[in-house]
Amino acid sequence: MPTHYDVVVIGAGPAGEGAAMRASKAGMDVAMVDEKPMVGGNCAHLGTIPSKALRHAVKQIITFNTDALFRDIGEPRTFSFPKVLKRAESVIGKQVKLRTTFYARNRVKVYSGQGRFTDEHTLEVVKADGSIETLIANKFVVATGSRPYHPDDVDFRHPRVYDSDTILKLQHTPRKIVIYGAGVIGCEYASIFCGLGVRVELINTRDRLLDFLDHEISDGLSYHLRDIGVLIRNGEEYEEVLCRENDVIVKLQSGKAVRGDAFLWCNGRTGNTDQLNLDAVGLSPNYRGQLEVNDRYQTDVAHIYAAGDVIGWPSLASAAYDQGRSTGAGLAELDDFYLVQDVPTGIYTIPEISSLGATEQELTQQKVPYEVGQAAFKTVARAQITGETVGLLKILFHRETMQILGIHCFGDQASEIIHIGQAIMNQPGEANTIEYFVNTTFNYPTMAEAYRVAALNGLYRVSSF
């Protein structure tokens, strides 16, 4: 017998969880369907949580191996990749336990299995044992996330070839790794492996790293990665990936060839829609497997919504959760729906990058009269105390109105520091000006003080005319 619900959510990642919790709290009868036996989605099991926990462990190793204070304890140490990965596994367990309680507390029934539509209001859940459970709902939310794109000419079954999901199953520490794709994930893993003492070659298909960033920040990342030993090859594309027993050879279209003990593919992602039988509901994903939605997160079928990585930009866990919550509000026809737009970028390289608003190149192209305020971390007392002096905070503001137009940060705790600026930048009227930072007292010494330093730097440039 089919089971009836007001809403069935497909995918227990941040977007699905956000939608399910919001709709349930609004009094709707909600079910969650996820192919994994435990909730959390790719965010908890394959992406955000494990990679950031791994990054934190590597950062601690770097601190131990580079800080002279620890030489009284012992010489610099090497750590195997599998050993460091155990840190991530413990965090995954804690996250799953926490998120499981959310579903129980909000009385959201969780079904483990592959969901597939049979008609516009019916979803079959194929369980691991082959049995099928049929769910009927008034509304659906597709929040199935994404997975690494796999080109047909790369053998991902080879034991030395990995993608950003399977790299978390690496059972040895390679001497050298070739990373193809220098987007966010590629740059993050380049800094992680380099921190473990692995030689890294980063192949970038574009002319510069992370070209969506403010160019000064992008240049800073390039300089730092090269400074720690990463070899960056810009403007290159592969011709062939030759897998051998003991190594992988990547032949480039430029005629070059690079060799590594392991190969990590980080070039593109695909929406997880191919198993949903979307033809049964009249939906067609784009060539990247993503669903198009309107400004209410509705697909072309009005009672079927979509949120998170499966709809594309910005493909961040933070945004996905907010998109899910907004979708849940829309499902319940509540007034607190909002369209997720101004999302800070969080890039967890070592050190971090975070940005919000316009870049210098965008403002220049738009012919906006802007000025720049900067604070180099090497001049900030807290950074000198912690030894994390790489990086800067950069504020872009209008020369006439003093309105904050963009905030860009490269350095330790950048993803935390950005939120101070975000709060001021989103204030109404004249409250969102750079002058706030010079008329406010910051604790000393703190990294937040960088805002005052950057603001004074920028205002001096304006007053000097």
125 is an annotated ligand-binding site residue: no
Ligand-binding site membership of 144 (annotated): yes
User: CA-to-CA distance for 143 and 317, rounded, in angstroms?
Assistant: 12
| Token code pair at residue 20 | 């399910």
282 is in an annotated binding site: no
CB 40 within 8 A of CB 13: yes
236: annotated binding-site residue? Answer: no
Q: Is 457 annotated as a binding residue?
A: no
For residues 112 and 34, the answer to whether their CB atoms sit within 8 Å is: yes
Contact 54, 83 (CB under 8 A): no
Are the beta carbons of 218 and 353 closer than 8 angstroms? no
- Is 409 annotated as a binding-site member? no
Neighbours of 208 (CB within 10 A): 16
Q: Is 266 exposed, middle or buried (0-12, 13-18, 19+ CB in 10 A)?
A: buried
**Tokens for 409?**
């940060």
Tell me whether residue 195 is annotated as binding. no
> Is 41 assigned a ligand-binding role in the annotation?
yes
Beta bridge partners of 4: 136
Question: Does residue 159 have a cis peptide bond before it, meaning omega lies within 30 degrees of 0?
Answer: no
145 annotated as belonging to a binding site for a ligand: yes
Is 146 assigned to a binding site? yes
Kindly provide the b/e burial profile for residues 137-176, where b requires at least 16 CB atoms within 10 angstroms of the residue's own CB: bebbbbbbbbbbeeeeebeeeeebbbbbeebbebeebbeb
Close Cβ partners of 80 (under 8 Å, ≥ 6 residues apart): 172, 173
For residue 25, say whether it is annotated as part of any ligand binding site.
Answer: no
Is 194 a known ligand-binding residue?
A: no
Residue with tokens 């620890």: 70
Gap between the Cα atoms of 182 and 266, Å rounded: 7
Task: Please give the single-letter amino acid code of residue 211.
Answer: D
16 annotated as ligand-binding? no
If you search the block for the tokens 């079928």, which residue do you land on? 301
Torsion sign (Cα): 28, 33, 38, 43: negative
Measure the CA–CA gap between 15 and 115, rounded to whole angstroms. 17
- Known binder of ligand: residue 357? no
Is 27 within any annotated ligand binding site?
no
Q: 181 labelled as ligand-binding?
A: yes
Annotation-wise, does 184 bind a ligand? yes
Tell me if 243 is assigned to a ligand binding site: no
340 is in an annotated binding site: no
Asked whether 348 and 51 are in contact (CB, 8 A), the reply is yes
State the Cα–Cα distance between residues 52 and 250, nearest whole angstrom.
Answer: 28
Binding residues: 34-43, 52, 115, 144-146, 181-188, 268, 309
Binding residues for NAD(+): 181-188, 268
Binding residues for FAD: 34-43, 52, 115, 144-146, 309
